[in-house]
Amino acid sequence: MAVAPQILAMHAAALWAGLLILWLLVLSGLVVVRRRKHLVAFGDGGHAEMTTATRAFGNASEYIPAVLVALVLLAAVGVPPTLIHALGGVMLAGRIIHALGLLFQKGPSLGRVLGMLLTWIVLLVCGVALVAYAVI
């Protein structure tokens, strides 16, 4: 029995939602590890390592929810599962690249720029696709 494309799109959205949530847990765990290392209970304690860890998590947690909602809505309105996979994959790659650029390079970095560019592209495509599906 064939599975409806909309169900496949929801499965794709679920996959990327799960992977993006797991990435948030990785970043959150890094914050905890650095808090223990520097004995900082709140804030950054003046440690650059704490600042970068909390911003890597914070930045991801600011952008990921909007994309998760968009992926589910796109799946619900019937976009092809391949588009969901493409958007989810680019978003995860962008968030990983951004975090690595923030965590392991000082100051402005190619990783941060590329990661944000990929994130913005995903947001733009999601926004345009949602509007297009709503009015067409």
All domains of the chain, ordered by start, with CATH? 5-135 (1.20.120.550)
Q: Using alpha carbons, select from 117, 17, 126 the residue that is nearest to residue 77.
A: 126
Percent of the chain's residues with pLDDT above 70: 99
pLDDT tens per residue across span 29-84? 999 999 998 878 887 887 888 899 999 999 999 999 999 999 999 999 999 999 99
**Buried-state track 25-43, b at ≥16 Cβ within 10 A, e below 16:** eebbebbeebbeeeebeee
Question: 43 or 118: which carries more pLDDT confidence?
Answer: 118
- Predicted pLDDT at 48: 86
Determine contact, residues 10/76, Cβ cutoff 8 Å.
yes
Are the C-beta atoms of residues 51 and 31 closer than 8 Å to each other? no
The token duo for 43 is 């804030």
Tens-digit pLDDT profile for residues 69-109: 999 999 999 999 999 999 999 999 999 999 999 999 887 89
